[in-house]
Structure 1
Amino acid sequence: MSEHKVLNILLVDDDEVDVMNVKRAFKKNNITNPLYTASNGLEALQLLRGEGELALPQTRRLILLDLNMPKMGGIEFLKELRSHPRLKPTPVIVLTTSNEDSDKVEAYNFNVAGYILKPVTFSSFVDAMAALNKYWTLSELP
Structure 2
Amino acid sequence: MISVADPYKPVHFLVVDDDEICIMAIKRAMKKLGIANPMSSANNGIEALEILNGALDPDAPLPRYVLLLDLSMPKMGGLELLEKLRADPLLKKLVVFVLTTSDAPKDITAAYEKNIAGYIVKDNLSETISKALSMLDGYSRLVVLPS
For the criterion TM > 0.5, the same-fold answer is yes
Aligned to 1:42: 46
Aligned to 2:64: 60
Q: Pick one of 88, 93, 96 that aligns with 2:92.
A: 88
State the 1:59 CA deviation.
2.4
1:106 equivalent in alignment to 2:110: yes
**Any idea what SS the aligned residue of 1:48 has?**
helix
**Any idea what SS the aligned residue of 1:28 has?**
helix
Instruction: Provide closer, same or farther for how the CA distance between residues 36 and 121 of structure 1 changes in structure 2, counting only shifts above 3 A.
Output: closer
1:41-87 residue CA offsets vs partner (Å, 9 max, x unmatched): 00000110117xxxxx8221111100000000000000011111110
CA RMSD in angstroms, aligned pairs only: 1.8
State the 1:140 CA deviation.
1.1
Which sections of structure 2, spanning at least 5 residues, go unmatched? 1-5, 56-60
Q: Give the 5 Å matches for 1:1-142.
A: 4-50=8-54, 58-142=62-146
Instruction: Provide closer, same or farther for how the CA distance between residues 30 and 88 of structure 1 changes in structure 2, counting only shifts above 3 A.
Output: same
**Aligned pair count?**
136
Which sections of structure 1, spanning at least 5 residues, go unmatched? 52-56
Instruction: Provide closer, same or farther for how the CA distance between residues 102 and 85 of structure 1 changes in structure 2, counting only shifts above 3 A.
Output: same
Structure 2 counterpart of 1:115, one-letter code: Y
Identity across matched positions, percent:
47
Normalised by the length of structure 2, the TM-score is: 0.86
Bigger relative contact order (CA 8 A; separation at least 6): 2
